[in-house]
Chain A
Amino acid sequence: MKNYITVVGLEVHAELKTKTKAFCSCSTEFGAEPNTHVCPVCLGMPGALPVLNRKVVEYAVLAGLALNCEIQKFNKFDRKNYFYPDLAKNYQISQWDQPICLNGHIDIKVGGEKKRIGITRIHMEEDAGKLVHSGLTISTSDFSAVDYNRAGVPLIEIVSEPDMRSAQEARAYMEQLKAILEYTDVSDCKMQEGSLRCDANISVMPEGATEFGTRAEIKNLNSFRALERAIEYETERQIELLEDGGHVVQETRTWDDINGVTLSMRSKEEAHDYRYFPEPDLVPISLDDAWIGKIREGLPELPAQRKERLLAEDVPEESADLIVSNKKMADYFDEGAKGTKNLKALANWLLGDVSAFLNAEGVEIDDPAFKITPDHVAGLVNLIDKGVLSSKLAKTVFAEMLKDNEAPEALVKKLGLEQVSDAGELARMVDGVIAANPQSVADFKAGKKKAIGFLVGQIMKETHGKANPGMVNKMLMEKLSR
């Protein structure tokens, strides 16, 4: 079998976080009763005229700046014509040949290697309504019910170059893109609610080939995991086809998450013919330097910059990458950093015990199920640094903090967990353990350095973990080495 190279490009749709739709003043609120956020414009009534929401342009420019794009000063909208009841007008208002942003990029890191992924373009368009089919799938349905609440909600479509060569790279790109959109706050980026959606163009080519293979477009990728699995599956499928002497058909396929396969959507042989033309109901948009400059002022600290800041504060690179990739986690970290100087330890707590809890509960750090406030995690770090708590007992305190966000200092007192660091008291324990374990003492003196571990363990056991292990170790060494 030949060696094949996977080639992936992603088209990502992000719903913008505006209060109103792109071309009318209807609310964009998610989860409302069907057809309650509608008006003549988004219902496609004859004679209704769209008027552009200023925020849509501003968010698109902000996203473009954050993704290192060139902002195009002249902008127009175009009609993409198709017959499907998800849009009542029989066309979608989009941007065709002159998108608002061009030539951007994102830097990703996979397996320790940095790679730059190009962004071809970003354009503005409107979302479509939602169809609920009467059966389980469209082919078993007799009819569908359409809800136009989402019709007209503004989107940006971010199209990457076919620069990714593996499922891992595609995932890293998607994660980084999501982080940047979250930092700029232009989108909610909730993949489950569909405010961030992704289609993948996948092809394979034999190693050394100069031309890409025929690609398939995979839809319905609603999670990072689905994206990764779909690319892996599709790569295998296409390689098998080629190895068996067949060829890949250029088509749209859908990801079936339950069975872990991609399925042909069996659309007509002929390619879609959308007959784009300039939208005559909207006048062009002219962006000048002053407006772009004003939007640029609103550009927040981005993941890459925040990472640099964390590295300067002695947080290890791997931890910094993980923290900045999640804006909520990064914000929590920044709050916690106000309360402790040991940011490396703070990072370890967030990525260790805190993340373990969040993953187990399946929630994000700002979920009410996670009760601990950042200042209390910082307090816990300080208690360990001051020698009040051993790291083992800190875990006990942490478990208590999870219940009620009680301050760690108060919990240490309440639970009687203060670490014993009193030299006099520890000396008495050390003398006691030496007297009670002559065999271990003899072993140690005979060169079995490991024997000291047993003695330390005895003291820790006796004090229920409260003795300062560092001090105990040091004192035992001193006494036994005499």
Chain B
Amino acid sequence: MKVTEKDVRYIAELSRLEISEEEMPMFTEQFNQILEYADILEKVDTTGIEPTFSILPLYNVMREDEVKPGVSHEEAMENAPAVHNDGFKVPRVIE
């Protein structure tokens, strides 16, 4: 087993996901299955091959620096669970 329950707990915490103790063996198993599949890929000889950062055969998709209207303030705030002084009101967050 490459991935332990400790790793799963850590990754879940980084992702702000709650995983119960009962679910832990299942996720640990699945993590390992994925990584074992990656092991197969790792056996392929990639000497001299550039890493693929994008699967699209495209470069330099850019726009000019011209201002265009976005959404109105009212529209933007429609998605806010709570509003304070025209800002998105969020709980106190300490890193």
Contacts and interface: CB of A to CB of B under 8 A. Distances in A.
A pairs with B:
yes
Interface of B: 14, 16, 53-54, 56, 58-68, 70-71, 73, 76-77, 79, 84-95
A138 B64 CA distance: 39
A337 interface: no
Contacts of A42: 70
A51 B87 contact: no
A273 interface: yes
B70 A37 contact: yes
Nearest to A27: B67
Contact of B61 (A39, A131, A283): A283
B14 A39 contact: no
Interface in A118-157: 131-134, 138-139, 141-148
Nearest to A268: B95
Q: Is the interface of B mostly helix, strand, loop or mixed?
A: loop
Interface of A: 18-20, 24-27, 33-40, 42-43, 45, 51-55, 57, 76, 81, 83-85, 131-134, 138-139, 141-148, 265, 267-268, 273, 275, 278, 280, 282-286
Contacts of B16: 83
A51 to B, nearest CB: 5
A139 B93 CA distance: 9
A143 B54 CA distance: 40
Given A25-B67, A85-B93, A275-B14, 20 more contacts: A18-B65, A26-B67, A35-B76, A40-B70, A40-B71, A43-B76, A43-B79, A52-B61, A141-B92, A143-B84, A143-B91, A144-B90, A145-B84, A145-B85, A147-B86, A268-B95, A278-B54, A280-B54, A284-B53, A286-B59
A139 B60 contact: no
B19 to A, nearest CB: 16
24 contacts: A19-B66, A25-B70, A34-B73, A35-B86, A38-B76, A39-B71, A40-B70, A43-B79, A45-B79, A53-B63, A54-B63, A76-B53, A83-B93, A84-B95, A143-B92, A144-B89, A144-B93, A145-B88, A146-B90, A148-B88, A278-B54, A283-B54, A284-B53, A285-B59
